[in-house]
Amino acid sequence: MKSVAISIEWERVVVRRVGATHAVLCDISFAIRAGQMVAVVGHNGAGKTTLARVMTGLIPIAAGAVKVFGQPLPTQRRLVQMGFQPPSAQLLGTTIAEELAIALAARPCETGEVESDARRMQAEMHALCRRFGLNMPLTTPVHHLSGGQVARLCIASAIASGAYILVMDETQAELDPAARQAMRQLFRDLAEQGRTILLITHDMEDVLAADRVLVLEAGRLVDDLPVRSFFYSERGGATPCQQHGFEEPFLVRAARSTNHRLGLRLSPVTEMEWTEGLQHVSACR
Ligand X SMILES: Nc1ncnc2c1ncn2[C@@H]1O[C@H](COP(=O)(O)OP(=O)(O)OP(=O)(O)O)[C@@H](O)[C@H]1O
- Count residues near ligand X (CB under 6 A): 13
Q: In the chain, which ranges are continuous DSSP H helix?
A: 48-55, 73-76, 96-106, 118-131, 147-160, 177-192, 204-209, 227-231, 240-243, 250-262, 271-284
By CB under 6 A, name the one of 8, 13, 24, 159 that touches ligand X.
24
* Contact status: 7 vs ligand X (CB under 6 A): no
Q: Work out the number of other CB atoms within 10 angstroms of the CB of residue 121.
A: 17
In contact, 100 and 132? CB cutoff 8 Å: no
Instruction: Tell me which residues in 141-170 interact with ligand X (CB under 6 A).
Output: none
- Full strand arrangement of the beta sheet holding 25-33: 25-33, 6-15, 63-68, 71-72
* Contact status: 48 vs ligand X (CB under 6 A): yes
Eight-class DSSP state of 144: G
- Shortest distance, CB of residue 117 to ligand X, whole angstroms? 43
By CB under 6 A, name the one of 8, 46, 145, 252 that touches ligand X.
46
Preceding omega of 86 cis (within 30 degrees of 0): yes
* Contact status: 42 vs ligand X (CB under 6 A): yes
Preceding omega of 108 cis (within 30 degrees of 0): no
* Contact status: 172 vs ligand X (CB under 6 A): no
* Contact status: 17 vs ligand X (CB under 6 A): yes
Query: Stretches 13-21, 67-75, 84-92, 159-167: which one binds ligand X (CB under 6 A)?
Result: 13-21
Rg of the chain on CA atoms, in Å: 20
* Contact status: 244 vs ligand X (CB under 6 A): no
- Shortest distance, CB of residue 219 to ligand X, whole angstroms? 7
By CB under 6 A, name the one of 44, 111, 139, 282 that touches ligand X.
44
In the bound state with ligand X, the residue whose beta carbon lies nearer, of 169 and 248, is: 169
Eight-class DSSP state of 10: E
In contact, 90 and 145? CB cutoff 8 Å: no
Query: Stretches 12-20, 80-88, 153-161, 185-193: which one binds ligand X (CB under 6 A)?
Result: 12-20
**Interaction pattern, residues 201-220, with ligand X; x per rule: CB under 6 A:** --------------------
Q: Which residues pair with 196 in a beta bridge?
A: 165
Q: How long a stretch of residues is the chain?
A: 285
Please give the residue ranges that form the binding site for ligand X (CB under 6 A): 17-20, 24, 42, 44-50
